Amino acid sequence: MRLLFLIVAILILLPEVDCKKKRHHYEVEEKVPFEVNKIGPYANPSETYEYYSLPFCQPLTIEHKHSSLGEDFTGDHKQNA
């Protein structure tokens, strides 16, 4: 019961996230930054491949982006695209 109360209190006290404040409208010919991750078949999630090991277009320099230790444990390898 205490845990439930604590969770509700934290959710109420957290600041409200407003996505409208950070909207960005891209201009014509402006680069849109995004990242790619591992890729694999839906039927077998344990079979994964690095995104650029497959025949996809890739940038001139590939930058690896590590956010957390958990992503390393799950095999996530975020890279620029």
pLDDT tens digits for 4-58?
A: 777 776 666 665 555 555 667 788 888 888 888 888 888 987 888 888 888 888 8
pLDDT value of position 61? 85
**How high is the pLDDT of residue 10?**
66
pLDDT value of position 13: 61
- 28-36 long-range contacts (CB < 8 A, ≥24 apart) are 33/80, 34/81, 35/65, 35/78, 35/79, 35/80, 35/81, 36/78, 36/79, 36/80, 36/81
**Helix, strand, coil percentages in the chain from 3-state DSSP, rounded to 5:** 30, 10, 60
- Please give the model's pTM, rounded to 2 decimal places: 0.51
* Phi, psi at 79, each rounded to 5°: -140, 155
Local structure of 59: helix, strand or coil: coil
